[in-house]
Amino acid sequence: MDYIKIFDTTLRDGEQSPGASMNVEEKIIIAKQLARLGVDIIEAGFAISSPGDFEAVKRISHEVDGPVICSLARAKPEDIDKAWEALKGAPKPRIHTFISTSDIHLKHQFKMTREEAKKRAVDMVKRARGYVDDVEFSPMDASRSEPVYLYEVIEAVIDAGASTINIPDTVGYSIPTEFGALIKGIKENVSNIKKAVISVHCHNDLGLAVANSLAAVMNGARQVECTINGIGERAGNASLEEIVMILRTRKDILNLDTRIVTEQIYPTSRLVSSITGIMVQPNKAIVGDNAFAHESGIHQDGLLKEKTTYEIIRPESIGISHSKLVMGKHSGRHAFKTRLKELGYELSDDDLNKAFERFKKVADQKKEVFDEDIEAIVADEILRIEIPERFKLDKLNVVSGTESVPNAFVEMYIDGKHVKEAGFGDGPVDAVYKTIAHITKTKSKLLKYSVNAITGGTDAQGEVTVRIQEDDHIVLGQGAHTDIIVASAKAYINALNKLEYKKKEKKVKVV
């Protein structure tokens, strides 16, 4: 089996995503995680572009063990020299230099002839080779370059010392058959190509970055340049997690794999999202929130019987603990019954039918039905449990504004006894919640707080929903009022009452 080298450019091309700029410490954190992930090469930055990038390349190349550490450099003497200055003394340095080979770039951007560009490429590869043994060269916009000229440039830079030739689809213009043919043409027409590894760097402007990369490896490329979550310039790059899991999942056909520790994929994805602030779309392949979530009743039924019916990848293999059965309007009876059992309820057939009918009505009104909703359905339809009101709001007064510290004065009844207290907070709701928490001596943690307007207009009644947790107990509380602060207090107290009930009562099993 052949192995594909994974060249991660999250810290260089990925950082070129608008708003994704990282400081040196953040880059080092990600680089160390990429090493744990098992990437072969990390492109740590563009040393000459800024003092921060220079420092990042320098520190990563000396502090991160395992991968080859690479700096990008234009085909200019000062770029090559700066890259070497950052990499000097590192155990595994690589200089990656580039210049365009497409006529559209040479004419309009570089103002060069083909011969001038070829000579510059050769000279700069030789210069880089004088510093390091590992030199990569990219003919930028290769997919729009005239093939014969492209072959000439590649052959010349290999003779000059380049050991990796990267073929970029710089503007994401190619389609898979075309890009695969380009790689095949290079293998057949560049006489010294066996002295170098063919790499590819595909952009996603037409949504084909992963498909083009796959076509390339099927035609002889043995390095793929990609980023975590596919972030990067414009529409982004080939997604590392997709490339890796395609090769891992379809080894039967491709007979190719990587040395990636796939269990680190999900943690790496989340780390990059948290540092860059670029969230992953829910339906993103491999690492999206919905990648292992199932709502369809047919799918849930099959999954419960045999996971391979609707999952071609085990969630555990990429670092996710388990699949998620989303309870919603498309869920079936089998999934509903299974979830009830997991919550501790075993209902008779008649009770199950009643509860399932109510569940479907609730699901039509909500995008997702949570465990607390299901428990409320069972309590209301089957058990008819009345939640005792141990805590009850009496009066509430809040002061807040730009010129005062938010404070709340709360009067409550606890087990029928009247109590009152004042407290401060970061905002009016925070002041109310901290005061109530102090009065009730709750140890619970607020997991969720959301506000919805029940009606329109500035005088709308607002509905507040909170989710709180104490130990392994999680409950939902709701409150409505035209004053959103009062609604917030009601929701919190409603949740605290439910929590008190849960702590005292064991789950009831109805047979």
Q: Which tens digit of pLDDT belongs to each residue from 142-156?
A: 999 999 999 999 999
CA 425, CA 442: separation in Å to the nearest integer?
Answer: 17
Q: Which tens digit of pLDDT belongs to each residue from 394-416?
A: 999 999 988 889 999 999 999 99
End position of a domain, from candidates 276, 303, 335: 276
CA 508, CA 379: separation in Å to the nearest integer?
Answer: 10
pLDDT reading at 511 higher than 50:
no
pLDDT reading at 379 higher than 70:
no
pLDDT at 266: 92
Whether residues 407 and 459 share a domain: the answer is: yes
End position of a domain, from candidates 356, 383, 410: 383
Are residues 220 and 204 in contact, defined by beta-carbon separation less than 8 angstroms? no
pLDDT at 20: 84
CA 357, CA 421: separation in Å to the nearest integer?
Answer: 45
End position of a domain, from candidates 276, 310, 344: 276
pLDDT at 509: 44
pLDDT band, residue 433 (cuts 50/70/90): very high
pLDDT reading at 365 higher than 50:
yes
Residue 350 lies in a domain: yes
SS3 330: coil
Whether residues 360 and 433 share a domain: the answer is: no
Highest mean pLDDT among 172-181, 270-279, 288-297: 172-181
Residue 284 lies in a domain: no
Tokens of 96: 């990656």
Higher pLDDT, 227 or 17: 227
Residue 264 DSSP one-character state: G
Q: Which tens digit of pLDDT belongs to each residue from 248-268?
A: 999 999 999 999 999 999 999
Whether residues 306 and 358 share a domain: the answer is: yes
User: What is the percentage of the chain residues whose pLDDT exceeds 90?
Assistant: 67
* Mean pLDDT estimate for the chain: 90
Mean pLDDT of 364-373: 74
Task: Give the chain's domain count.
Answer: 3
pLDDT reading at 510 higher than 50:
no
Residue 510 lies in a domain: no
pLDDT at 358: 82
Report the CATH number at residue 406.
3.30.160.270
Residue 185 DSSP one-character state: H
Residue 511 lies in a domain: no
**328 C-beta neighbours (distance < 10 Å), count:** 19
Q: Which domain holds residue 241?
A: 2-276
Whether residues 329 and 374 share a domain: the answer is: yes
pLDDT at 454: 57
Residue 286 lies in a domain: no
Residue 396 lies in a domain: yes
Which helix (DSSP H) or strand (DSSP E) does residue 155 occupy? Answer: helix 147-160
Q: Which tens digit of pLDDT belongs to each residue from 8-38?
A: 999 999 998 888 889 999 999 999 999 999 9
By CB atoms closer than 10 A (0-12, 13-18, 19+), residue 330 is: middle
State the residue for tokens 């379809």.
Answer: 250
Are residues 356 and 382 in contact, defined by beta-carbon separation less than 8 angstroms? no
Residue 211 lies in a domain: yes
Highest mean pLDDT among 125-139, 296-310, 352-366: 125-139
